[in-house]
Amino acid sequence: DIQMTQSPSSLSASVGDRVTITCQASQDISNYLNWYQQKPGKAPKLLIYDASNLETGVPSRFSGSGSGTDFTFTISSLQPEDIATYYCQQYDTLCAFGPGTKVDIK
């Protein structure tokens, strides 16, 4: 089974800050990686697919990069509405989610 790790598990940043989350797969998953945002009490929402493609309607301050085993998710300028937990997900072999990164406003 492919295992996914994320770091950090939580972070606190100021409005306008650049925020970076990393995700690592236990084996090569090419670019079969998505990023989701989940706000409290809500369903997850797809932000980035195939590692670096922005889902339609998602603000351009969100971006993703990487391939193979190492991936990065970035919010270029953190906004109050970005408070959420962010999950990476591989779909190279079935499906596995990372444990999530909780983002708060400092």
Partner 1 sequence: EVQLVESGGGLVQPGGSLRLSCAASGFTFSSYAMSWVRQAPGKGLEWVSAISGSGGSTYYADSVKGRFTISRDNSKNTLYLQMNSLRAEDTAVYYCAKDPLEMATIRFDYWGQGTLVTVSS
- Binding interface with partner 1 (CB under 8 A): 1, 32, 34, 36, 38, 42-46, 49, 55, 87, 89, 91, 94-100
Q: Based on DSSP, count helices (H) and strands (E) in the chain, helices before strands.
A: 0, 11
* Cα angle: 67, vertex 71, 73; to 5 degrees: 130
Q: Which residues have CB under 8 Å from 60's CB, separation 6+? A: 54
> CB of residue 14 vs partner 1: minimum separation in angstroms?
26
CB of 37 to partner 1, least distance (A): 11
- Tell me the closest approach of the beta carbon of residue 16 to partner 1, in angstroms: 28
